[in-house]
Structures are given as C-alpha cells and as structure tokens.
Amino acid sequence: MFNFNKKRLRPEHILLLFLAAIIPALLGGGHAQSATAESQKTEVGKHSRTILHTYASGLLKADRHVSVHLPKDYEKHPDTKYPVLYILDSETNIAFTGVIVDYLSEGGQMPAMIVVGIHADGSREVDYLPKLTDPEALKSGISGEASRFLKAIDTEMIPLVERSYRTTDFRLISGHSFGGLFVTYAMSQKPKLFNGYFAQSPYFAEVNTKFSLLRLEAMLQNNPEMQSAYFMTLGDEPLLAKGFSQVDSLLKDKAPKNMQYVSSHQDGRDHMQTRMIGTYDALEQYFAKDWPITAAIDSGNIPAHFDGLTKKYGTRPHYEVNAFAQALQGLLQAQKIGLSTAIAEEFVNQHPNSPYSHYLLFNAYAMGGKRDDALKQVNAVIKIIDNTKDPRMEMKQLYPQLKQMKKQLGG
C-alpha cells in the first residue's frame, strides 16, 4: 500500500505494481509484436501509403517513375517534416525497405522517414554504371551514364519529392549490386548530397574497382572534413570480394576522422540476400549512436539531447509507448529519479492520452516525494480510464488501486 505519511513512497511498492501490471501489459512479447508486424506487412502489401509518381525527365529523355512510401502518421501530423531515404531499384526494393523503416522507427531505433523508391525503368546498366573512356577499360567493362543519372537525381527527383512532400534536409541513399556501385560513385562525386551512402554487394568488378578507387581517393583528399557516412556489405560473393577488399582498405586507411565508415560481411548469404539484411543493418547502425531513447538517457541531459537530434535530422524525436516503457522500467528499478522523471515527462508530452504515460510519471513523482504532482497524474489516469470504453484495457485492472492512491494523496 502506498503511504504518503513519509517523504517518499516505498520504492518496492511502486516497482511491484509497475512490474506486475505495466510491463507484462506493454511488453507482452510475441503476441503484441506479431500483431504489429502483420499490420505493417498488410499496409505495405496494399500500398496504402505508397504513391507512384511519373514525370518526364529532361535529362534522361524519358518518362521516369518514383514511388514514395510515407510514414504511417504522415497525415496525422501535418506540421511535421521527415528525413528521406532514397533507394534504387524501387520495383523490387521499396516493399521490404518500407517494412524495415516502419519497424525500426516504431521501435524507437531511428526516426520515421519518407522512403523514395527510384525505379530502374529498364535502364540499370546505363544509369548506374559510370562512363568508361579508357580504351582498355572499354574492352572489359560496360560503359554507362552514371553522371547524367546522378544529375537527374540531384536536379529533378529530389526537387520533385521536396515540392510534393514535407521533407527535411537530411537524406540517405541506398543501392544494391550495380546500384551499390552507383551509390559509391555518387559519394565520390557529390559527398554532401546525402548524409549517408549505403551499398549492398557493390559491383566492384575489376575495371569498376580501378576507377572507383581513383575517384574515392581524390574525393577523400579534397574533403578532409567530410561527415557523410558510407556503409557497404558483401555476402559470399567471390567475384566481388577482391574489389570489395580493395575499397575497404582504402577507406579504412584514408577516411576522414568525422566520416562514419562501416564494412561488413554476411557469411552464408548470397548476392540477392544482402539487399534486405544490408539495408536493415545500415539503418540500425547509422542511427544507433544517437537516436534510441537509451542514447538520450546516457547523455545525462535529455532536453539538450533532443534539441540536438532535432537540429541534426530536422525532426523532433518521437517514440512509441513500448520504447518509453522499456526505458522507464530500468530507470525506475535503478531508482534514478531525475532521469525517470525527465523521460516520463517526455512520455506524457508525446502520448498525452495514454494512461501508461501518466501512470509512469506518477511513479517517478512518487519516488521523488512530489505529492501534488503525483496526485495530478493519478487523476489523469483515472480520467482517461473513465473515458475509455475498451474493456480490454489492462489499466482497468489497477482501477481500484488508483482510487485508493488518490484517497491517500488527499485527492
């Protein structure tokens, strides 16, 4: 039983109620997660949030297609702007990329993003491969028009997206195979056009590797303060392994100190499997250092950390109920009152209609001996429950205890 005759509630009582009722309800394991994943797959499968654009490209001299996959709450937040992930080969890649972005963003691992799928439109070799001018290279390699395609992305496709949707200035680009080679080429030519370049199984055949190394080395020398990231991955692909290793050695040796560079091998995976796994890993690793709520906690200054993320990504961090609950579980158990209170207050700000946010803020205030503030949160929980008709709501199990708490708090 809670007792406010002393300065603070007894922590073991608070944690007992918290752990017994809230954590099982919010973090119920496989059932809740499966339902969420199925919902995501259904939405993406129906393309309810994916819009196809067709535009006449002056540079490419043809009609080109761009598919745009929107965050699930895009329409609910008309004042919110979103970072953008551009992916190549949209015909085969946008469906799973949309699922990955939705999954990681809803889990609090990265910001919600607009995914822009650039269709190959039957022109992969022409668009993705750089032009070869060396006579010997032309004998063994395929020459393309990557410079023209990069200009089309820069001057036609990005402006089209930014005119049509609410975007921030933060952009990533991802490509596989020929697309991975193009992403690498794009970084060597325009290292500031995107904040991150992701290449899965980049097509570093012999002639492509030679010129990729020359372009990359020149770019690195001319951009010592480069801050954009480059992630590349390779499966069990002997034909590409030598070139991959050469590029890897160059970047490990000469990448600027502020450039985030990661290379990885997916043992046992073939050329096509690297697309999905590489995209997931790159996104997770790119944002791991600052976006998850645990990074805010580790910073020790949550408001300042959130302000920094807002400035960097152009959008304020938003986390789902589960992400907050997981973070608060550990903080309350460790009796870190200041951090618990700061996170719980942000929880209420982001989810004002959730009984869990107010209930966990009550716990934080109670542990800190803030009687009046704790009472306000108990009243907020009771009001939400009274106005909720859903009989399955787990918080209703605590309704008698909440009423008792209110009485003890003098409410």
pLDDT, tens digit (0-9, with 9 covering 90-100), for 91-100:
999 999 999 9
Taking only the tens place, the pLDDT of each residue in 143-171 is 789 999 999 999 999 999 999 999 999 99
| Chain segment 66-79, per-residue pLDDT in tens | 999 999 989 988 99
**Residue 265's CB: how many other CB atoms inside 10 A?**
15
Average pLDDT, the chain: 86
At 251, the amino acid letter reads L
Architecture of domain 49-294: 3-Layer(aba) Sandwich (3.40)
Q: What is the DSSP-derived secondary structure letter of residue 398?
A: G
pLDDT tens per residue across span 345-364? 999 999 999 998 999 999 99
Residues sharing a CB contact under 8 Å with residue 280, sequence separation 6 or more, in sequence order: 100, 104
Helices of type H across 27-157: 30-46, 90-106, 124-128, 135-140, 146-152
Task: Give the model confidence (pLDDT) of 187-243 as tens digits.
Answer: 999 999 999 999 999 999 888 898 999 999 999 999 999 999 999 999 999 999 999
Instruction: List, edge to edge, every strand of the sheet that includes 229-234.
Output: 50-57, 62-69, 114-118, 82-88, 167-176, 196-200, 229-234, 261-265
Confidence of residue 135 (pLDDT cuts 50, 70, 90): low
Residue 7 has pLDDT above 60, yes or no: no
Name the fold adopted by 11-28+319-408: 1.25.40
Indicate whether 272 pLDDT > 90.
Answer: yes
Please report which confidence band the pLDDT of residue 49 belongs to, taking 50, 70 and 90 as the band edges: confident
173 residue type, one letter: I
Q: What local confidence, expressed as pLDDT, does residue 138 receive? A: 54
pLDDT at 1 over 80: no
Query: Is residue 398 scored above 50 in pLDDT?
Result: yes
pLDDT per residue over 360-387, tens digit each? 999 999 899 998 999 999 999 989 888 8
Of all residues in the chain, what percent carry a pLDDT higher than 70?
A: 85
Looking at residue 315, its pLDDT comes to 94
Q: Which residue has the tokens 């752990």?
A: 19
Predicted confidence at residue 85, as pLDDT, reads 98
Q: Please report, for the chain, the start and end positions of each structural domain, with discontinuous segments joined by +.
A: 11-28+319-408, 49-294
pTM: 0.83
